[in-house]
Chains A and B, each alone.
Chain A
Amino acid sequence: VNPDLASERQTASFSVESLTAWLDGGAERTRMRRAVVEAIEHDPTFSRENQYFQSQNERYEAAVRKAVYLQKKMHEMGWTEDGPEYKYIYRALAGDVAFLLHRIFMRSISMLGSDKQIAKWIPLASQYQIIGSYAQTELGHGTYLQGLETTAVFDTAAQEFILNTPKISAMKWWPGDMGRSATHTVVFAQLYIHGKCYGIHPFIVQIRSLQDHSLCPGITAGDIGPKMSFEHADNGFLMLQNVRIPRENMLNKFCEVQPDGNYVRWGSQKINYFTMTTVRISLISDEVVVPVMKACTIAIRYSVVRRQSKLKPGEQEAKILDYQTQQEKLLPQLAAAYAFHFINDYLQELFNRAYEEIQTKNFDTLPELHAFSSGFKAMVTQYCTSAVEICLRACGGHGYSLLSGLPSLYTKIFASCIYEGENTILLLQTARFLIKCFMAASTGQPVPPSVTYLAAGKPGKCPAQNKLHFLNPDIYTEAYQHAAARLVSSAAAELQNLIQSGVKKHDAWNQCAVQLAQAAKAHCHYITVKNFAETVEKLKTQAGIQKIMKHLCDLFALHGIFSNGGIFLHDGYISGAQMDMVTASYLDLLPVIRKDAVPLVDAFDFTDKSLNSALGSYDGQVYQRLYEWAQKSPTNKQMSPAYERYLKPLLQNKLSKL
């Protein structure tokens, strides 16, 4: 181990192993996670060693190979798809595997299909006799589902639906696993019966032959071309021309087209939200928090190995993490990684509670859950995307090399801001919920406990008198609460004003949209800070860990006030002098957390293989590894034809013969 990194580990103020266990939810889970990761990483089939050198075609092939082999492996190890090991498998594979949409295909059949449909399709899918995808997004429409243009017309005579892509913007575009792999897909289309439109419904459509994998009649499908990341995934397009499917292929748990064309609906339509909510919550941990933790691990380890310039004349060059500016870039991101790990726990709990209630046909918590999952999905993905980018840029030139692992983390997490609901639109959905609750609360109607604070919004002053007061969670949580309440109430007032002055409701909403989105973000930020503080509070038994977590919580909270000063200063809740105290306290925390920075990332417990980074490995042999890996690059192994063909004549000044 590089001595610069080793020395960082000797001064940890807490036990890394206990923190890891606590993050995992118990030592037993840590043990299981390590066993799973070990089993996967020791299997050469799952190696990601050459990932950075592969073409799109090679990446896709590798992903399919791994997915196929994984079935065998899971069988061998006795793991199941709904077992506790599954999420660790995903972590070990770093998502670099095919058939993820196949799982969504199965989930949507299980949730939206009747018992009969489940009995028919699920066994086929789980045996991989068919491979599924999920075709919702179109070329012309994404988050706004009602705008989808694919049609499914019911033909009573044949008892079939006729599916069509009426124009180019209606083409299905983006679904994973669909470009090359899938044999079937769930297509979302506007249902027409006897010329009347009944809105969006899901249909199972076969798109490729089960014999030779060629496209079925009426189907045009393929890969949508290179993207910023997800080279391994065959995101696809799909065009349907008079494709006929039997009546039974419409997923009909909640509604049905009867043989005579009669349309029957039962159950709550709200349940449709529930699928989206599930996905949004689950992506926070797998696709967002894990990458940000990895990026912090890489950047922080590299920052104690890299030495640059001198802090004091005559001394050795300083570790770049000893520079205040570097600390100010990285440590708030580290704090955020922890904050969002905890908010994920919070959302899981909320979700589980709602799930239990739904089992008893009680849908009361759904709106709150929906609003929260939307807002947090938007806030967390946006925050973490920028956090990963900060980590990337904090590694200077070497961060730009694919071998650092950071560009791949960044391009992947970036996509999370868009898929499963575009962030701005999601924030506005949360805002709608908040405004509604605010209105209700101000007229004395009951609102969910998480938003009761909206009613209490009133002018006030922050009571802090010196910089140490800002290390009191009550002080800063109160400040966040005040800011969120103020932003929600002033957006509501503005909306009200516009409507009263005769502006139409929809126009008024659009004219306030920027404010509304800001209010929703402030709400989520407040809940994150509050939840972090409460989590730390509950940690009383583990002193060493509690202390460092308290510092991180303070840092997260004060960083937010420091970088959004205007929101807190606006109505004088925090005064100019108090803002100076916030800044002082915030900057004071940096060197304190600096001491534990490496142990704090070690606690995330990523193996070198899963980081796949020349800069971030546990032993800190950064430069040797960069040099070794670069030599493996195909550009150094294969002779490029460029020399013989172009360079040689150029060098020999025979340009005219080219």
Chain B
Amino acid sequence: EALVVNDPDFQHEDLNFLSRSQRYEQAIRKSSLMVMKLREYGIADPEEIYWFKSFVHRGRPEPLDLHLGMFLPTLLTQATPEQQDRFFMPAWNLEIIGTYAQTEMGHGTHLRGLETTATYDPATQEFILNSPTVTSIKWWPGGLGKTSNHAIVLAQLYTQGQCKGLHAFIVPIRQLGTHQPLPGITVGDIGPKFGYDEMDNGYLKMDNFRIPRENMLMKYAQVEPDGTYVKPVSDKLTYGTMVFIRSLIVGDSARSLARACTIAIRYSAVRHQSELKPGEPEPQILDYQTQQYKLFPLLATAYAFHFVGAYIKNTYQRISTDISEGDLSELPELHALTAGLKAFTSWTANAGIEECRMACGGHGYSRCSGIPDIYVTFTPSCTYEGENTVMMLQTARFLVKSYTQVNSGQQVTGMVSYLNDLSRQRIQPQHVAARTVTVRINDPVSLVEAYKARAARLVEAAAKNLQAELNHRKSKEDAWNRTSVDLVRASEAHCHYVIVKLFTAKLSEISNVAVRAVLTDLCLLYALYGISKNTGDFLQVGILMDAQITQVNQRVKELLAIIRPNAVALVDSFDFHDVHLGSVLGRYDGNVYENLFEWAKKSPLNKTEVHESFHKHLKPMQSKL
């Protein structure tokens, strides 16, 4: 960390004052330097590279992300040894800079809908790549617009007149040496976005562009010289990569929310406003209950998500050995769970970051607060690597499947095992959840039970509604669509339960008594706040009674006051360096106002005391009127 932060080569002007082109240039400059220094220091461990990179770019995207994060790993996992010989070392040495071109203008998460074609021509032993429609133009890949000279392109493979589905091809797009697009290739930047200013997200259009047969990634599926197609062994393997990337997003949700909380909570301790008691000095705004109510549940959420992210990563690592030995039995559940948690955490963090910004009032709106930047960088994760609603429905599919299994007498395992209890309780004519738990609102373990009951009842309700629709309608898909709002709710409840459960389980692992005490408060706050925000679900089927809800609300308020003295310490524990936080409001030293002023003086509009617009427009107007 110190290595990078103190390196003068990585210093530059505040990015907020730079244009998009300038930000891109800075990012490229730093990436080039970074690669050089990584080699110089001999850093090769992926974890270390990750940290190095995140300090160089301060957690921001950069144009080589796709090269390092997708192009190289895809070569490693999907290329044959011959292909690795041809491409890997040049790519490692950055003679080849690649990107991963999957998403098209017309299709994202629904991969089967992609339209780019790769037609095999046995006469020349080449694939002919085409973008047949406007909607088939590759759109969004990072590093594609200006940086890359190669791309791994996903296209529908046609051979011997048949479509064989999506496959990956290595496509050179720019001339080595001049960096000019190759004939048949149209490539460029997709224009300004909400954030990601330093990233040249690009478009790619191909017209009868030919590549040799050997450029199809053929470790699994193959096309033989005569055009015969050889199928891959298993298609579940790709799940592994998706699980891994989605687990990173869960971690990113935790980190982004933690950054926003750090800024908002530190600033709320520095800002004084209005009066609580007549005649006394203005209190810190963090002393207002409404401010605590905005921020502390988010703080608890950031901690909760941190544990969830670690859990998925560990589980993935644990079962990836099984996977490489061919045992895929645990993968479907993890895959389903990760999809939902990716959606749940990214939605929550997204809203939470905005809440933090709102909690900083006007100054939160200034770029110097750093929160606008956190938000625009984070918010696309609700869409990329699987659109959130679609993800929730994937989890729901798994839940409904498990429910059906239980109904047909089978036992299910893992996080959904609570569904097993449903059949036992069915003898009672009553709603399942109605008498299962006597909730003790000060006991996290008891709250886990309450969340479990809620999830069970919402999964059951969704499954029953789905069945009712199926009885009315011919089409399965139609019934599914007409139940999808219920299904999403069920998935959310399931994910919520999993999070409360994991947070609670974590508490017993903490040996330091004081730390455990404060995290127990946070865990309680997380669970109780979740109840108070979703009281309907708990009241409707009698998991909790009116009086208990009143107690929950009361307890939430008490917890706010209990957490208040530790609030700053709890965000300091996230240990974000000022440079990494990039926020005037969230500075560790709290010298907010002086630095706001210093920052503003650097604004481009302040370059001259009298702006050119005065001479151009104002003065002529005043003299004419």
Q: Which residues of A contact B (CB under 8 A)?
A: 52-53, 55-57, 60-61, 64-65, 68, 71, 127-129, 131, 137, 139-144, 146-147, 168-169, 171, 173-174, 179-181, 210, 212-215, 222-228, 234, 237, 306-313, 317, 322-326, 328-329, 389, 393, 396-403, 407, 411, 414-415, 417-419, 422-424, 428, 504, 506-507, 510-515, 517, 564-572, 576, 579-580, 587, 623-624, 626-627, 629-636, 638, 640-643, 645-653, 655-656, 658
Please, how many angstroms separate the alpha-carbon atoms of A224 and B273 in the complex? 21
Given contacts A570-B546, A630-B203, A642-B25, A403 and B191 within 8 Å (CB-CB): yes
Please, how many angstroms separate the alpha-carbon atoms of A633 and B597 in the complex? 33
Q: Tell me if B379 is interfacial: C-beta within 8 Å of chain A.
A: yes
Please, how many angstroms separate the alpha-carbon atoms of A565 and B533 in the complex? 10
Q: Which residues of B contact A (CB under 8 A)?
A: 16-17, 19-21, 24-25, 28-29, 32-33, 35-36, 39, 93-95, 97, 103, 105-110, 112-113, 134-135, 137, 139-140, 145-147, 149, 176, 179, 188-195, 200, 203, 271-278, 282, 287-291, 293-294, 354, 357-358, 361-362, 364-368, 372, 376, 379-380, 382-384, 387, 389, 393, 431, 475, 477-478, 481-485, 488, 532, 534-542, 546, 549, 553, 557, 593-594, 596-597, 599-606, 609-614, 616-622, 625
Please, how many angstroms separate the alpha-carbon atoms of A227 and B145 in the complex? 27
B380 touches A397 (CB 8 A): yes
Given contacts A623-B105, A646-B32, A635 and B599 within 8 Å (CB-CB): no
A60 touches B605 (CB 8 A): yes
Closest to B104 in A: A623
Q: Which residues of B have CB within 8 Å of A638?
A: 21
Closest to A55 in B: B19
Contact residue among B107, B203, B276, B383 (Cβ-Cβ distance under 8 Å from A308):
B107
A226 touches B619 (CB 8 A): no
Given contacts A60-B605, A142-B361, A325-B389, A312 and B475 within 8 Å (CB-CB): yes
Closest to A516 in B: B290
Contact residue among B93, B485, B557 (Cβ-Cβ distance under 8 Å from A511):
B557
Q: Which residues of B have CB within 8 Å of A651?
A: 94-95, 97, 149, 176, 179
Given contacts A140-B272, A226-B367, A400-B193, A579 and B536 within 8 Å (CB-CB): yes
Q: Which residues of A have CB within 8 Å of B354?
A: 389, 414
A225 touches B366 (CB 8 A): yes
A141 to chain B, nearest CB (A): 7
22 contacts between A and B (CB under 8 A): A65-B617, A140-B272, A144-B273, A169-B593, A171-B597, A226-B17, A234-B611, A308-B108, A308-B109, A397-B140, A402-B193, A506-B276, A507-B276, A507-B277, A510-B288, A565-B535, A565-B540, A623-B106, A640-B21, A646-B29, A647-B147, A650-B35
Please, how many angstroms separate the alpha-carbon atoms of A300 and B483 in the complex? 21
Please, how many angstroms separate the alpha-carbon atoms of A633 and B200 in the complex? 12
Q: Which residues of A have CB within 8 Å of B200?
A: 635
Please, how many angstroms separate the alpha-carbon atoms of A141 and B271 in the complex? 9
Q: Which residues of A have CB within 8 Å of B365?
A: 227-228, 414-415, 418
A309 touches B110 (CB 8 A): yes
Q: Which residues of B have CB within 8 Å of A428?
A: 290
Given contacts A396-B108, A579-B536, A61 and B146 within 8 Å (CB-CB): no
Closest to A577 in B: B540
Please, how many angstroms separate the alpha-carbon atoms of A658 and B605 in the complex? 32
A643 touches B179 (CB 8 A): yes
Q: Which residues of A have CB within 8 Å of B367?
A: 225-228
A433 to chain B, nearest CB (A): 17
A59 to chain B, nearest CB (A): 10
A646 to chain B, nearest CB (A): 5
Contact residue among B21, B149, B362 (Cβ-Cβ distance under 8 Å from A142):
B362
A620 to chain B, nearest CB (A): 13
A68 touches B191 (CB 8 A): no
B188 touches A396 (CB 8 A): no
Q: Which residues of B have CB within 8 Å of A402?
A: 191-194
B398 to chain A, nearest CB (A): 17
Q: Which residues of A have CB within 8 Å of B537?
A: 565-566
Given A171-B593, A180-B605, A630-B189, 5 other A-B contacts at CB below 8 A? Answer: A171-B597, A313-B477, A565-B536, A569-B539, A646-B25
Please, how many angstroms separate the alpha-carbon atoms of A212 and B623 in the complex? 12
Closest to A323 in B: B481
Contact residue among A139, A179, A398, A653 (Cβ-Cβ distance under 8 Å from B597):
A139
Q: Which residues of A have CB within 8 Å of B478?
A: 311-312
A213 touches B276 (CB 8 A): no
Q: Which residues of A have CB within 8 Å of B147?
A: 647
Q: Which residues of B have CB within 8 Å of A658?
A: 32-33, 36
Please, how many angstroms separate the alpha-carbon atoms of A653 and B91 in the complex? 11
Please, how many angstroms separate the alpha-carbon atoms of A512 and B354 in the complex? 24
Q: Which residues of B have CB within 8 Å of A324?
A: 481-485
A627 touches B203 (CB 8 A): yes
Q: Which residues of A have CB within 8 Å of B278?
A: 506
Q: Which residues of B have CB within 8 Å of A60?
A: 605, 611, 613
B290 touches A652 (CB 8 A): no
Closest to A127 in B: B625
Closest to B39 in A: A655
B105 touches A227 (CB 8 A): no
B273 touches A587 (CB 8 A): no
A407 to chain B, nearest CB (A): 4
Given contacts A312-B475, A566-B535, A567-B535, A635 and B597 within 8 Å (CB-CB): no
Please, how many angstroms separate the alpha-carbon atoms of A9 and B538 in the complex? 43
From B478, B594, B609, residue with most partner A Cβ within 10 Å: B609
Given contacts A180-B614, A510-B288, A651-B176, A576 and B541 within 8 Å (CB-CB): yes
Given contacts A128-B621, A312-B478, A417 and B358 within 8 Å (CB-CB): yes
Contact residue among A52, A140, A147 (Cβ-Cβ distance under 8 Å from B593):
A140
Closest to B367 in A: A226
B606 touches A222 (CB 8 A): yes
Closest to B149 in A: A651
Contact residue among A64, A400, A504, A649 (Cβ-Cβ distance under 8 Å from B617):
A64
Closest to A407 in B: B194
Given contacts A180-B614, A571-B546, A514 and B16 within 8 Å (CB-CB): no
Q: Which residues of A have CB within 8 Å of B106?
A: 306-307, 623
A402 to chain B, nearest CB (A): 4
B501 to chain A, nearest CB (A): 22
Contact residue among B191, B538, B603 (Cβ-Cβ distance under 8 Å from A635):
B191
B36 touches A655 (CB 8 A): yes
Given contacts A144-B274, A168-B594, A630-B188, A642 and B28 within 8 Å (CB-CB): yes
Please, how many angstroms separate the alpha-carbon atoms of A647 and B137 in the complex? 25
Q: Which residues of A have CB within 8 Å of B105?
A: 398, 623, 626-627
A217 to chain B, nearest CB (A): 14
7 shortest interchain CB distances as A-B pairs: A565-B536, A566-B535, A223-B605, A633-B191, A225-B603, A635-B189, A144-B274
B485 touches A655 (CB 8 A): no
A71 touches B621 (CB 8 A): yes
Closest to A140 in B: B593
Q: Which residues of B have CB within 8 Å of A624?
A: 134
A640 touches B25 (CB 8 A): yes
Q: Which residues of B have CB within 8 Å of A652?
A: 95
Contact residue among B190, B485, B604, B618 (Cβ-Cβ distance under 8 Å from A131):
B618
Please, how many angstroms separate the alpha-carbon atoms of A183 and B388 in the complex? 50
Please, how many angstroms separate the alpha-carbon atoms of A91 and B288 in the complex? 38
B289 touches A223 (CB 8 A): no
B549 touches A566 (CB 8 A): yes
B149 touches A397 (CB 8 A): no
Q: Which residues of A have CB within 8 Å of B600?
A: 222-225, 237
From A403, A569, A629, A632, residue with most partner B Cβ within 10 Å: A569
Please, how many angstroms separate the alpha-carbon atoms of A330 and B354 in the complex? 20
B177 to chain A, nearest CB (A): 8
Closest to A408 in B: B194
A641 to chain B, nearest CB (A): 6
Please, how many angstroms separate the alpha-carbon atoms of A222 and B146 in the complex? 36
Contact residue among A224, A512, A568, A653 (Cβ-Cβ distance under 8 Å from B366):
A224
B419 to chain A, nearest CB (A): 21
B175 to chain A, nearest CB (A): 11
